[in-house]
């Protein structure tokens, strides 16, 4: 069992955030996430980023959206520096998207952004977005964008108010970077996988990890919908053990379970 632990937990995080007071966050309901512990936002409007509970009344999470106010422009992002090579990096986080109410019914879009610079006029190197689906009621299409803002659909949807885990791993391949992503329900472990190529990104870095909010241009006003995010972990992609090593571990594990009494 100790050997199994070494295989699965040997990679230390380079950045993590759980938004608890033990990490130095003032997570009271009237506080901004931006301005705390390295988080920044590209819009000065108060409480675009805020704190809410996720999953239970004792688990604090960060949030971004129009629940309290609206952005000055059509989009806003809150982000945190990471400054790690993109190659061999895995990002994990939990999230949930809350629907708008009848008072402010706009259906806005949300995203997780992987940025290689701090230039606000540049598109992120890569982003996974959740956009209102035009056909499926209460559905959000899962799509992704590259550095040229080219949109690719994963052909899957998730739903408002659901709790999801996102895992994204990056691997350099020649001049490009490959990504593999999974969106899963933590309770059932059911989920969907998708992957793609980021052209010319083999030496790119993950300078900033962020969450984005984009206004529905067709709506009369910004919705009071928002995204909750928590349990962020950025670190090296765990190595895949050689088959012989796995068999040796399992063999030792089996001996421990089935050892004959003397």
Mean pLDDT of 215-220: 91
Cα–Cα distances in angstroms (integers) from residue 130 to residues 74, 107, 229, 234, 242, in the given order: 16, 11, 13, 21, 36
pLDDT band at 246 (very low <50, low <70, confident <90, very high): very low
The per-residue pLDDT for 239 is 83
Has this prediction a pTM greater than 0.85? Answer: yes
Rounded CA gap, 51 and 169, in Å? 27
| Residue 246: its H or E element | helix 243-258
Residues 163-190 have pLDDT tens digits of 999 999 999 999 999 999 999 999 898 9
Q: Which residues pair with 41 in a beta bridge?
A: 78
Q: Which residues are CB-neighbours of 107 under 8 A, at least 6 positions away?
A: 99, 100, 132, 216, 219, 223, 225
CATH number for the region 2-258 comes to 2.60.120.200
What are the residue boundaries of the structural domains of the chain, listed by start? 2-258
Rounded CA gap, 85 and 83, in Å? 7
Q: What are residue 150's phi and psi, to 5 degrees?
A: -75, 130
pLDDT band at 261 (very low <50, low <70, confident <90, very high): very low
Rounded CA gap, 92 and 234, in Å? 6
The per-residue pLDDT for 4 is 38
Residues 81-127 have pLDDT tens digits of 999 999 999 999 999 999 999 999 999 999 999 999 878 778 999 99
Average pLDDT of the residues of the chain: 89
The per-residue pLDDT for 242 is 55
């Amino acid at each position: 069992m100790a050997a199994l632990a070494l295989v699965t937990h040997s990679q230390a995080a380079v950045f993590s955030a759980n938004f608890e007071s033990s990490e130095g966050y003032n997570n009271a309901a009237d506080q901004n996430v931006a301005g705390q512990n390295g988080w920044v936002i590209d819009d000065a409007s108060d409480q675009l980023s805020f704190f809410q509970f996720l999953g239970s009344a004792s688990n604090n999470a960060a949030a971004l959206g129009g629940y309290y106010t609206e952005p000055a422009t059509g989009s806003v992002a809150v982000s945190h520096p990471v400054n790690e090579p993109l190659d061999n990096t895995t990002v994990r986080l939990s999230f949930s998207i809350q629907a708008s109410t009848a008072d402010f019914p706009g259906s806005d879009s949300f995203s997780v952004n992987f940025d290689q610079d701090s230039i606000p006029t540049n598109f992120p190197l890569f982003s996974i977005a959740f956009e209102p689906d035009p056909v499926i009621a209460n559905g959000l299409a899962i799509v992704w964008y590259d550095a040229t803002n080219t949109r690719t659909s994963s052909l899957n949807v998730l739903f408002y108010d659901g709790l999801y885990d996102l895992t994204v791993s990056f691997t350099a391949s020649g001049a490009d970077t490959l990504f593999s992503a999974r969106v899963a329900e933590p309770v059932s472990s059911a989920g969907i996988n998708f992957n793609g190529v980021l052209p010319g990104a083999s030496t790119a870095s993950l300078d900033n990890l962020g969450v984005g909010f984009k206004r529905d241009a067709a709506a009369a006003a910004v919705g009071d919908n928002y995204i909750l995010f928590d349990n962020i972990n950025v670190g090296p992609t765990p190595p895949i053990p050689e088959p012989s090593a796995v068999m040796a571990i399992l063999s030792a594990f089996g001996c421990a379970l089935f050892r004959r009494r003397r």
